[in-house]
Amino acid sequence: MENSRGAILATLAAGLLWGSSFAVIKIGLRSIDPYWFVFLRFAVASAVALSYLAVAGRLKETGRLLRNPLVIWLGVSNAAGFVLQFRGQTLTTASNAALLINVCTIFVAIASRVVFRERFGPLKMIAVALGMIGIYLVTTGGRATLSLSDSFRGDLLVLVAAFLWTFFIILDKKIVDGHGVDVRALTGAMVLVTAVAALPAALLLGGGLPRPTPEWWAIPYTAVLCTVIPFFLWTWGLKHITATTSSVIMLAEVIFALALAALLLGERLSPGGLTGSALILVAVGLVSRAATAGTPDGPDVAPGEQPGEADLEVT
C-alpha cells in the first residue's frame, strides 16, 4: 500500500508539471516553429536524461531497452502525438488543447478492456457517451453547424494526438509490467527515440534551423520540468496502479492547465466549451469509479496483479 500511495502522489506531481506545459508551449509557439520546438524539447531532454543515466551507471540498461521494439514504438507514437499537439496549438487555445489531450483517458478505458482485460461496464459506457458530447461542445462551442475555422482544425489535430497517446499509455504500461524494467533507463530511452523520431518532421516541415528568441526559455522548461521529471514520476507510478487509474489522477493536469491558461494567457472558455469541459471531467470521473469498483485492494491494483490475470512480461 505504501508503494500505491507513493505512486498516486508521483502521478499527481507529474500531472501538475504536465499541466503547466500547455500555457508554456503556447507562449513558446509565439516565435518557435512547432516542429523544431518538439525536436529541441526532446533533444534537450535526451541530453539531460542520458547525462543522469551515465552518472547513475544505467546506460547499459538504456541500450538494452533501445533494442526493444515496444520502446521504439513508444518513442515514435510519443513524437507523432507531440508534433500534432504543437501544430494544433498554433491554431487553438491552450485550454482546448489541455481538455482534448486528456480525452485519451476515455480512449484508454476502451483500449484497456482489450489489452488488460479491465472491466467495461455501464459506467464506462456512459462515460464514453458523455465524453463524446463533451468533445463536440469543446470543439464547436455548442454550435449546431461545424465550422472549418483555424481553431476547429487545431482542435482536431490535438484530438488525433490524444488518440495516439492512447497507444503510448498502453505501450508504456505493457513495458513497465515487465519484470526488472528500470524506470530511469526507460525514461532515457523514450526521450531519445522521441527526439530522433521528431527530427524528420522538423527538417521536412519546419524549414531551416530557428534562431534563438526570448521565448526559447520554453525549450529547457518543457524538456526538464514537463518531460524528464514527470515522465519518470508517471512511469514509476504505472508500476503500482492501473493505466486507467493513472489517467484519472491526471485530471489534475487539466484543472491546473486551465487555471494557468486563464492566468497567463487570459483565455476563457465559451459557455458551450464550459459545458463540454464539465462533461469531459464527469466522464473521466465515471471512468475512475468504474475502474476501481470491485477490486479487492482498491484502485491501486495494477492489471497484472488482479486475480485471474497473468503478468504482462516484455522479452
Label residue 179 by pLDDT band (50, 70, 90): low
Distance CA 278, CA 265 (A): 21
- DSSP string covering 270-282: -HHHHHHHHHHHH
pLDDT score of 309: 34
**CA–CA distance from 41 to each of 32, 91, 185, 271, 299 (Å)?**
11, 20, 19, 34, 33
Residue 138 has pLDDT above 70, yes or no: yes
Query: What's the mean pLDDT when you consider all of the chain?
Result: 80
Quick one: the chain helix, strand, coil %, rounded to 5?
75, 0, 25
Matching residue, cell 524506470? 183
Average pLDDT over residues 96-121: 71
- Round to the nearest angstrom and report the end-to-end CA distance of the chain: 28
Q: Using CA atoms, how far apart are residues 278 and 38, in angstroms rounded to an integer? A: 30
Smallest Cα–Cα separation from 238: which of 307, 314, 171? 171
**Could you say which DSSP state residue 209 is in?**
P
Contact 33, 102 (CB under 8 A): no
> Phi first, then psi: what are they for 210, rounded to 5°?
-70, 150
pLDDT at position 33: 96
Residue 223 pLDDT: 96
DSSP string, 130-171: HHHHHHHHHHHTT-SS----HHHHHHHHHHHHHHHHHHHHHH
Give SS3 for 49: helix
Residue environment code for 176-189, b if the CB has 16+ CB neighbours within 10 A, otherwise e: bbbeebbbbbbbbb
Q: Are 261 and 79 in contact (CB under 8 A)?
A: no
- When mean pLDDT is compared over 99-113, 186-200, 222-236, 261-275, the highest value belongs to 186-200
Q: The whole model's pTM is what?
A: 0.78
Structure-block grid coordinates of residue 29: 509557439
What are residue 261's phi and psi, to 5 degrees? -65, -40
pLDDT of residue 312: 28
Name, of 24-28, 133-137, 187-191, 238-242, the range with top average pLDDT. 24-28
Residue pLDDT, tens place only, 69-106: 989 998 999 999 999 999 999 999 998 888 888 777 67
- Decide which of 150 and 215 is more confident: 215
